[in-house]
Amino acid sequence: MSYIRCLSNPESLYVYASVENRKQFMILCHRIKPPMASFSKVPFDDFHRVKVPFGDFRRACIEWDKLDGYCDIKCGKLRVREILVFEETGRIVGKDRGLYETRETRFVVRVQHGRQWFNLWRTTWEYLVNRVVEREK
Taking only the tens place, the pLDDT of each residue in 7-63 is 667 778 888 889 988 899 999 988 888 888 887 665 556 788 899 999 999 999 999
Residue 16 pairs in a beta bridge with 2, 27
| Residue 41: per-residue pLDDT | 60
| Whether residue 126 has pLDDT greater than 80 | yes
Predicted TM-score of the model (pTM): 0.85
Q: Domain range for residue 43?
A: 2-136
- State residue 108's pLDDT score: 93
Number of domains into which the chain is organized: 1
Cis peptide before 35 (omega within 30 of 0): yes
User: Strands (DSSP E) along the chain, which ranges?
Assistant: 2-4, 14-20, 23-30, 48-53, 72-75, 78-86, 105-113, 116-120
In one letter, which amino acid is 5? R
